[in-house]
Amino acid sequence: MSDFVLGIDLGTTYSCVAVMEQSDVRVLEQKGGYRTLPSVVAFNLDGSSMVGHIAKRQAVTNAENTVYAAKRLIGRNFSGPDVERAVKSVPYKVVQGPNRDPRIQIFKRNYSIPEISALILKQIKAIAEEALHAKIDKVVITVPAYFSDGQRQATKDAGFIAGLEVLRIVNEPTAAALAFGYKKKMNKKIAVYDLGGGTFDISILDISTDAFEVLATAGNTFLGGEDFDQRIIDFVAKSYESEYEISIQKDKMALQRLKDAAEAAKCQLSSLLETEINLPFLTTLNNESKHLRRTLHRVELEKLTGDLIDETIRICASALEMAALNVSQIDDVLLVGGMTRMPLVQQKVKEFFEKIPAKNVHPDEAVAIGAAILGATLMEEEAPVILLDVTPFSLGIRTAGGFSTILVQKNSTIPTEAGHIFTTVTDGQRSVKIQVLQGESKLATENTLLGEFTLTDIPVQKAGEPEIMVTFSIDSNGIVQASAKDLKTKKEQSIVVTSKSTLSDEEKDKLAAEYKDSTPNELVADVKT
Ligand code: AMP
């Protein structure tokens, strides 16, 4: 095995991989010179899969068996509103899995979401091994800053299934800040505005020569390029449908073609004022082919999606407030994520922060580059860098009356540990159930239940007498551990809080074994060990 640590930006729509080689960071290219890989996995009837460009290319003719935007489902609970939204806009079938997790049903097999991400990671590993002529097993993977504990764990599980050792899960904006400021001898407060294919994050950082401290982070894991595409799809489909009285939305192949065309049009409108969506033979009506051809103007796109951008600006304002800074105290603004190429995004960010965004970060590559830098520093090939990130949500436990008592406030610096002493509410109570909650509401039911466990064998005492110390710790990956200790008996119970929707250890092991020898596509054999 080599000492290379891959920095992987596992994006909703595209992924990117970089590595540090003798103090230089390099984005690893695939055959054909591509520097990003579509995060798309397609399946064949025999169970074999394709990943990346070839998967994206065949999506139109195989829409139901082609999975994209799986990141929108990772680590989520099937019955949550976000999954419902995500499922509405995709042609593949999503069903409920054994842990109430979403699973993608293709040719009668139910794929867990970490498994889909693992296939992308395996492909990335293969690309890197080909480019570096070395075997790779260590990676740093980035996630949106606003990813919850469950989403982080599920991402780590994906790495495990792909046979990779995940040295660190790091937040995407933090990685971008590393790419911007590492070894640059600067002392600045910066804002990283990251609008990707599926998610939006804003992080405010204080960076100095060897320390990167996140002051605040905020975001929305359901706001990204896919939503912009959807607005175009709905707009164009509506006028087409009223003209021909044919539903595109029900025709999977037509819808996939329209989706590709909508994304392409959106990207073109970043440099052109108008573009044409031209889809001949899109549908048939009474054996007659119907074509879709219409011009889309940049102003139309801006009208259709302006509110999405306004929402990101509102989130920026709340992040600044949490960092207790005003706009004039921000020295630089970095734009990360493919969507920041949209002129209206750039304009609104510039207006809000009252400055022109920095030009020296690559929107598609900065995150992977930062992850590669972090990877190298973790292997101590490079001078260590102090990275202080924050937790995006508050963590608490359910207490009497159905309330949530917060132990770790959101935007606390991690790693962190916090403890609080609780007691019992009834006489002779022998056990307490600890429910770990994530979220800001005072009401337990309005927060996300991360996990629960029971502390038993509490000696018989009057209500209020036992002293139960509940401690939470969050590691540098943002993953939560909780423990409860009876201070009298010293009996302790602890769990790594596994969100209800992640895979069991057995299932992870089974999948890792299954995929161990599977060969990713588009591979050149010449790999040295
Ligand atoms: P990322 O997750 O950072 O790879 O961002 C991908 C998103 O950026 C997708 O929704 C792309 O359609 C979008 N994107 C890429 N290039 C452009 C462009 N030139 N203009 C607008 N959006 C773009």
Top-confidence residue, 85 or 194: 194
Q: How far apart are alpha carbons 155 and 73 in whole angstroms?
A: 11
User: Are 41 and 165 within one domain?
Assistant: yes
Q: How far apart are alpha carbons 416 and 482 in whole angstroms?
A: 12
Choose which residue among 147, 221, 263, 267 to substitute to test ligand 1 binding: the one with the highest number of ligand atoms within 8 A of its C-beta. Answer: 267
Q: How far apart are alpha carbons 75 and 72 in whole angstroms?
A: 9
User: Are 286 and 403 within one domain?
Assistant: no
CA 478 to ligand 1 center in whole angstroms: 27
- Of 157-166, 354-363, 424-433, 498-507, which has the strongest mean pLDDT? 157-166
Residues 154, 156, 160, CA angle at the centre, nearest 5°? 110
CA 92 to ligand 1 center in whole angstroms: 22
Which whole number is the average pLDDT over 271-283?
95
- Does the pLDDT value for residue 513 go beyond 70? yes
User: What CATH number is given to the structural domain containing 232?
Assistant: 3.90.640.10
The domain boundary, picked from 387, 422, 438, lies at 387
Residue 24 forms part of a structural domain: yes
Percent of the chain with pLDDT over 70: 96
Confidence of residue 524 (pLDDT cuts 50, 70, 90): very low
User: What CATH number is given to the structural domain containing 461?
Assistant: 2.60.34.10
Q: Kindly report the protein residue whose alpha carbon is nearest to atom 15 of ligand 1.
A: 338
Residue 281 forms part of a structural domain: yes
Q: Kindly report the protein residue whose alpha carbon is nearest to atom 8 of ligand 1.
A: 338
β-bridge pairing 274-285 and 395-399: unpaired
User: Are 403 and 465 within one domain?
Assistant: yes
Which whole number is the average pLDDT over 506-520?
86
CA 68 to ligand 1 center in whole angstroms: 14
Closest-lying ligand 1 atom to the alpha carbon of residue 225: 10
Q: pLDDT tens-digit profile of 146-166?
A: 898 889 999 999 999 999 999
- Does the pLDDT value for residue 26 go beyond 70? yes
Residue 92, classed as helix, strand or coil, is coil
Nearest CA to 357 out of 340, 378, 375, 376 is that of 340
CA 146 to ligand 1 center in whole angstroms: 19
Range(s) of the domain holding residue 247: 225-302
Residue 372 forms part of a structural domain: yes
- Does the pLDDT value for residue 528 go beyond 50? no
CA 336 to ligand 1 center in whole angstroms: 10
Confidence of residue 86 (pLDDT cuts 50, 70, 90): confident
Q: Kindly report the protein residue whose alpha carbon is nearest to atom 21 of ligand 1.
A: 267
Closest-lying ligand 1 atom to the alpha carbon of residue 364: 3
Confidence of residue 525 (pLDDT cuts 50, 70, 90): very low
Q: What is the pLDDT of residue 223?
A: 95
Choose which residue among 266, 272, 361 to substitute to test ligand 1 binding: the one with the highest number of ligand atoms within 8 A of its C-beta. Answer: 266
User: Are 90 and 232 within one domain?
Assistant: no
Residue 284 forms part of a structural domain: yes
- Amino acid identity of 438? Q
Residue 89, classed as helix, strand or coil, is coil
User: Are 374 and 419 within one domain?
Assistant: no
Alpha helices (runs of H) in 249-406, residue ranges in sequence order:
252-268, 298-322, 343-353, 366-378
Closest-lying ligand 1 atom to the alpha carbon of residue 224: 10
Q: What is the pLDDT of residue 73?
A: 93
Choose which residue among 13, 272, 361 to substitute to test ligand 1 binding: the one with the highest number of ligand atoms within 8 A of its C-beta. Answer: 13
Q: pLDDT tens-digit profile of 109-124?
A: 999 999 999 999 999 9
Q: What is the pLDDT of residue 359?
A: 81
What domain count does the chain have? 3
CA 343 to ligand 1 center in whole angstroms: 12
Q: What is the mean pLDDT of the chain?
A: 91
Q: What is the pLDDT of residue 527?
A: 32
Choose which residue among 72, 194, 339 to substitute to test ligand 1 binding: the one with the highest number of ligand atoms within 8 A of its C-beta. Answer: 339
Which whole number is the average pLDDT over 241-259?
87
User: Are 64 and 141 within one domain?
Assistant: yes
Q: What is the pLDDT of residue 322?
A: 94
The domain boundary, picked from 369, 387, 405, lies at 387
Which whole number is the average pLDDT over 58-86?
89
User: Are 421 and 375 within one domain?
Assistant: no
The pair of three-digit structure tokens given for residue 53, joined into one six-digit string: 């460009």
User: Are 123 and 104 within one domain?
Assistant: yes
Ligand 1: lining residues by beta carbon, under 6 Å: 11-14, 196-197, 225, 263, 266-267, 270, 337-339, 341-342, 364
Angle, helix 298-322 to helix 343-353, in steps of 10 degrees: 30
Q: What is the pLDDT of residue 522?
A: 56
Q: Which residues are part of the catalytic machinery?
A: 9, 71, 172, 194
Residues facing 63 on adjacent strands: none
Q: pLDDT tens-digit profile of 164-174?
A: 999 999 999 99
User: Are 380 and 433 within one domain?
Assistant: no
Contacts of 8 (CB under 8 A, 6+ apart): 15, 16, 17, 121, 124, 139, 140, 141, 142, 368, 371
User: What CATH number is given to the structural domain containing 15?
Assistant: 3.30.420.40
Q: Kindly report the protein residue whose alpha carbon is nearest to atom 14 of ligand 1.
A: 338
CA 503 to ligand 1 center in whole angstroms: 31
Residue 474 forms part of a structural domain: yes
Closest-lying ligand 1 atom to the alpha carbon of residue 266: 21
Q: How far apart are alpha carbons 135 and 527 in whole angstroms?
A: 7
| Residues 292/279, Cβ–Cβ less than 8 Å | yes
Q: What is the pLDDT of residue 405?
A: 94
Residue 208 forms part of a structural domain: no
Q: Which of 75-89, 172-186, 415-429 has the lowest mean pLDDT?
A: 75-89
Q: How far apart are alpha carbons 186 and 252 in whole angstroms?
A: 51
Q: Where are the beta strands (DSSP E) in 358-477?
A: 386-390, 395-399, 403-408, 413-414, 416-422, 432-438, 448-455, 468-474
User: Are 376 and 408 within one domain?
Assistant: no
CA 436 to ligand 1 center in whole angstroms: 36
- Does the pLDDT value for residue 383 go beyond 70? no
Closest-lying ligand 1 atom to the alpha carbon of residue 363: 3
Confidence of residue 499 (pLDDT cuts 50, 70, 90): low
Q: How far is CA 254 from the centre of its chain?
A: 28
Q: How far apart are alpha carbons 225 and 209 in whole angstroms?
A: 34
| Residues 170/374, Cβ–Cβ less than 8 Å | yes
Which whole number is the average pLDDT over 486-496?
82
β-bridge pairing 138-143 and 5-9: parallel
Residue 114, classed as helix, strand or coil, is helix
Kindly provide the b/e burial profile for residues 133-148, where b requires at least 16 CB atoms within 10 angstroms of the residue's own CB. Answer: ebebebbbbbbbbbbb
> pTM of the predicted model, to two decimals?
0.90
Q: Kindly report the protein residue whose alpha carbon is nearest to atom 20 of ligand 1.
A: 267
β-bridge pairing 432-438 and 395-399: antiparallel
User: Are 293 and 145 within one domain?
Assistant: no
Top-confidence residue, 148 or 206: 206
Confidence of residue 493 (pLDDT cuts 50, 70, 90): confident
Residue 526 forms part of a structural domain: no
Which whole number is the average pLDDT over 209-224?
91
User: Are 39 and 137 within one domain?
Assistant: yes
C-beta contacts of 22-27 below 8 A and 24+ residues apart:
23/382, 25/179, 25/369, 25/372, 25/373, 26/372, 27/365, 27/368, 27/369
| Residues 86/226, Cβ–Cβ less than 8 Å | no
| Residues 139/118, Cβ–Cβ less than 8 Å | no
Residue 524 forms part of a structural domain: no
